[in-house]
């Protein structure tokens, strides 16, 4: 006689099938997580290894400059003291870069926030053309502008002045600020501003007390990115600055290893680079939240 499977047998088989699939799914998820972790670790290692070697070399004794040990065998702080030699202008470069970058960032935020608000709030003739012009301006290479700008500033008597480098930096950061803030403003419900107007606020008051506080993450992100862009800029600074207005990137570029020493050059690079990396790592969540704040519309 042939045994016939009853209904209870089919139900048991169907119940056993998911329990057999679950371990396989868990295993696939575990493999995917491990793969993602390995890829992230490789990217972090690739990005931070030069910084690590920069810092290690900065602490090496000049007699052990080219050792390949992971840590300096004779650590010393003499390289950092030598980097601040007055003839190398590092301290002046740091002060100039901080002043120029801070001032440009502040002006860029004031102009960029109001411009981004207007571009996001109203539709007018030539709006798309203006946005396209801003985008095109942000793509111009600095090397193509250095010589014409030098000629213009020389004709105006502005050669090697602070405004000669600050104005091009402002043009460099404004498109970044406008596009960062405009994407956020476009995602805001304008009913909030309308409600503030009904309560008696002027348009200016509604912008300052309602819209701008909501845009704080994007404003913070735009400020950090603008500051980093001006602090790290090198091409225009080499042409438009002199000894009085020299920026830190030019100072580092002038550190010739065959004159000041390889380890002193690494120490100067660490002084300039490491604080910025720490700043970005500390505020990375705010930066990411500001960049993605306008991605979801209310």
pLDDT in tens, 48-104: 888 888 889 889 988 888 888 888 888 888 888 888 887 778 889 999 999 999 999
- C-alpha count within 13 angstroms, C-beta hemisphere, residue 96: 25
More confident residue, 91 or 274: 91
What is the number of residues in the chain?
298
Dihedral class, residue 97 (left if φ above 0, else alpha if ψ from -120 to 50, else beta) = alpha
pLDDT for 100-126, tens place per residue? Answer: 999 999 999 999 999 998 888 888 888
* 163 shares a domain with 44: no
Which two tokens mark 238? Answer: 């080499």
Place of tokens 């102009």: 111
* 171 shares a domain with 33: no
pLDDT computed for residue 152 by the predictor: 93
**Separation between Cα atoms, residue 221 and residue 218, nearest integer Å:** 5
Which two tokens mark 45? Answer: 């290692």
| Containing structural domain, residue 11 | 7-58
- Mean of pLDDT over the chain: 82
pLDDT at 296 over 80: no
User: Is 0.85 surpassed by the pTM of this model?
Assistant: no
pLDDT at 20 over 50: yes
Q: How many helices (H) and strands (E) does the chain have?
A: 15, 0
261: CB partners within 8 A, 6+ apart: 62, 65, 79, 82
Domain-embedded: residue 241: yes
35: CB partners within 8 A, 6+ apart: none
* 213 shares a domain with 268: yes
Domain-embedded: residue 228: yes
**Separation between Cα atoms, residue 264 and residue 57, nearest integer Å:** 9
pLDDT at 129 over 70: yes
Q: What are phi and psi of 4, to 5 degrees?
A: -110, 130
* 174 shares a domain with 31: no
pLDDT computed for residue 252 by the predictor: 86
Domain-embedded: residue 67: no
Domain-embedded: residue 199: yes
Which two tokens mark 132? Answer: 């396209």
List the CATH number of the domain containing 96: 1.10.3720.10
**Separation between Cα atoms, residue 222 and residue 189, nearest integer Å:** 21
* 93 shares a domain with 49: no
pLDDT computed for residue 106 by the predictor: 95
* 125 shares a domain with 16: no
DSSP secondary structure of 172-186: HHHHHHHHHHHHHHH
Place of tokens 């290690």: 56
Helices (H), 122-187: 127-138, 142-156, 162-186
The total of structural domains in the chain comes to 2
Which two tokens mark 224? Answer: 């950090």
Residue 116: name the closest of 175, 182, 170 by CA: 182
Place of tokens 């699939």: 21
Angle at 225 between CA 221 and CA 230, to 5 degrees: 150
- CB-based burial of residue 131 (10 Å sphere; 0-12 exposed, 13-18 middle, 19+ buried)? middle
* 168 shares a domain with 127: yes
Domain-embedded: residue 71: no
pLDDT for 177-226, tens place per residue? Answer: 998 888 888 888 888 888 888 888 888 888 888 888 888 888 888 898 89
- 258: confidence class by pLDDT, cuts 50, 70, 90: low
* 202 shares a domain with 102: yes
pLDDT computed for residue 294 by the predictor: 53
pLDDT for 139-191, tens place per residue? Answer: 888 888 888 999 999 999 999 999 999 999 998 899 989 988 888 888 888 88
Domain-embedded: residue 73: no
* 91 shares a domain with 27: no
Domain-embedded: residue 66: no
């Amino acid at each position: 006689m042939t045994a016939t499977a009853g209904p209870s047998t089919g139900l048991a088989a169907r119940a056993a099938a998911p329990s057999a699939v679950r371990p396989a799914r868990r295993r696939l998820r575990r493999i995917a997580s491990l793969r993602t972790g390995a890829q992230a670790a490789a990217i972090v290692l690739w990005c931070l290894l030069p910084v690590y070697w920069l810092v290690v070399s900065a602490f090496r004794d000049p007699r052990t400059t080219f050792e390949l040990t992971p840590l300096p065998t004779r650590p010393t702080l003499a390289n950092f003291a030598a980097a601040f030699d007055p003839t190398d202008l590092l301290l002046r470069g740091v002060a100039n870069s901080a002043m120029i970058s801070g001032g440009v960032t502040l002006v860029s935020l004031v102009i960029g926030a109001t411009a981004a608000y207007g571009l996001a709030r109203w539709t007018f003739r030539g709006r798309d053309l203006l946005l396209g012009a801003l985008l095109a301006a942000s793509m111009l290479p600095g090397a193509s502008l250095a010589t014409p700008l030098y000629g213009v500033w020389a004709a105006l008597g502005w050669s090697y002045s602070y405004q000669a480098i600050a104005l091009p930096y402002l043009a460099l950061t404004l498109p970044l600020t406008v596009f960062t803030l405009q994407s956020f403003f476009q995602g805001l419900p304008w009913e909030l501003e309308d409600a503030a107007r009904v309560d008696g606020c002027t348009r200016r008051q509604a912008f300052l007390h309602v819209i701008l506080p909501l845009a704080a993450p994007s404003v913070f992100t735009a400020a950090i990115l603008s500051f980093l862009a001006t602090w790290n800029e090198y091409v225009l600074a080499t042409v438009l600055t002199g000894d009085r207005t020299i920026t830190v990137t030019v100072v580092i570029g002038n550190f010739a290893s065959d004159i000041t020493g390889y380890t002193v050059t690494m120490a100067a690079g660490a002084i300039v680079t490491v604080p910025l990396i720490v700043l970005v790592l500390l505020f990375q969540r705010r930066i990411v939240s500001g960049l993605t704040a306008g991605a979801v519309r209310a």
